[in-house]
């Protein structure tokens, strides 16, 4: 039996509002798109009428996040009935480079959309 898998890519263009004092993408922006990419990847495998919430995530900042934009990749590595586990990767993209700037893992839970607040 082949397990279902999913992958989502999200891009964030560079602009002053998402950078820190040295001009790099802020860790908060880097973490946010990683969290969103993983969340949407998990969500693609959930049944209709449900939604997704992050339970926890861990991110390692590997290099200064710089480039024309960031690209986050969320990949489901273990879908589950209770928790779904995703791998998170964020790349700094320029016309000539594709640099891994952050990597992490995330646990997500499926929730009933009718009971969401």
What pLDDT digit, counting tens, does each position of 13-42 carry?
999 999 999 999 999 999 999 999 999 999
Handedness of CA 19, 14, 39, 105 (dihedral sign): negative
pLDDT of residue 74: 98
Model confidence band, residue 5 (pLDDT cutoffs 50, 70, 90): confident
β-partners of residue 93 are 69, 98
pTM above 0.75, yes or no: yes
Distance CA 58, CA 105 (A): 6
The three-class DSSP label of residue 73 is strand
Q: Which domains does the chain have, with CATH numbers?
A: 7-115 (3.10.129.10)
């Amino acid at each position: 039996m082949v397990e279902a898998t999913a992958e989502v890519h999200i891009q964030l263009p560079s602009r002053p509002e998402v950078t820190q004092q040295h001009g790099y993408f802020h860790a908060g922006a880097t973490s946010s798109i990683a969290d969103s990419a993983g969340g949407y990847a998990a969500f693609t495998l959930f049944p209709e009428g449900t939604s997704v919430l992050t339970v926890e995530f861990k991110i390692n900042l590997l290099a200064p996040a710089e480039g024309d934009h960031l690209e986050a990749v969320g990949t489901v590595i273990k879908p589950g009935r209770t928790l779904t586990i995703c791998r998170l990767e964020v790349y700094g993209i320029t016309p000539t480079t594709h640099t891994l700037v952050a990597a992490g893992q995330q646990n997500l839970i499926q929730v009933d959309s009718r009971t969401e607040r």
